[in-house]
A and B are shown apart, each in its own frame.
Chain A
């Protein structure tokens, strides 16, 4: 089975500081035919459904603030919040949507204010 892992499980960052979340896939999500990484990031605030933030590993969804950025390729990826705001407190999930299902989610990383 393909496994998605995330680190850390949780982190607390001061307002205005950088938050970095890592995601690792047990198999590559890079499709050589189009050179795209089939990796997405979602944000879930308490009591709300998830919201798509990043897709193709680095493309921001429309309306997502530019303090959110994604990077990485193959099996290792990073979500960075460049300057944490109070409204960014949430759980963040990575997800592979490559090839055939299952479209596995990572276990999530909880981000809080220090």
Chain B
């Protein structure tokens, strides 16, 4: 069955950096676009970033552009999110989500359980 497991969350100080990972199994990872979505405490869902199946295309929300970098290792079926210059506004649960085969224009059909990133001094 499809599994997505995020890791790497934890308390970080404002201005700090963190790298999230999403280990996947149960589907052909190197054929699918992958996303990061976040949810601040008590708030709605905010799409963060997407990477195409081969890593050639990456898109970001304006709120994280220039600070976050999405990447993937298709040999290890793993998705990453490098987060720099973190602020308290970045405090959220971060979910990885599976996108479409060979396209970024597809619904997110599987989600991980999320990893919490509190940004606090």
Q: Decide: A103 and B47 in contact? CB cutoff 8 A.
A: yes
| A12-20, A49-57, A72-80, A82-90 - the one binding chain B | A49-57
Majority SS at the chain A contact face:
loop
Whether the pair A40, B111 counts as a contact (CB closer than 8 A) is no
CA distance A98 to B103 in the complex (A): 11
Partner of B47, one of A99, A100, A102: A102
B102, CB-defined interface residue at 8 Å: no
Q: Whole-angstrom distance from the CB of A77 to the nearest CB of chain B?
A: 14
Within B91-121, which residues are at the interface with A (CB < 8 Å)? 95, 104-114
Q: Which of B21-37 contact A (CB under 8 A)?
A: 35, 37
Asked whether, in the complex, the Cβ of A95 is within 8 Å of the Cβ of B104, the reply is no
Over the window 56-84 of chain A, the binary record of Cβ atoms lying under 8 Å from chain B Cβ atoms (1 yes, 0 no) is 00000100000000000000000000000
Whether B20 is near chain A, meaning CB under 8 Å from some CB there, is no
A93-B45, A103-B47, A105-B45 as given contacts; A49 in contact with B114, CB under 8 Å: yes
Q: Is A7 an interface residue (CB 8 A)?
A: no
Interface centre among A38, A50, A93 (most CB of B within 10 A): A50
Would you give the shortest CB distance from B47 to chain A, in whole angstroms?
5
Are A101 and B104 neighbours in the complex by a CB distance under 8 Å?
yes
Contact A103 B35 (CB under 8 A): yes
A95 neighbours in B (Cβ, 8 Å) = 45, 47, 107-108
Q: Considering the complex of A and B, which 8 residue pairs feature the smallest CB-CB distances, nearest first?
A: A49-B111, A101-B59, A55-B107, A40-B107, A105-B45, A108-B44, A103-B47, A52-B109
- Chain B residues proximal to chain A, CB less than 8 Å: 35, 37, 44-47, 50, 59-62, 95, 104-114
> Can you report 9 A-B residue pairs in the complex whose CB atoms are below 8 A from each other?
A40-B107, A49-B114, A61-B109, A97-B104, A99-B105, A101-B59, A105-B47, A108-B44, A108-B45
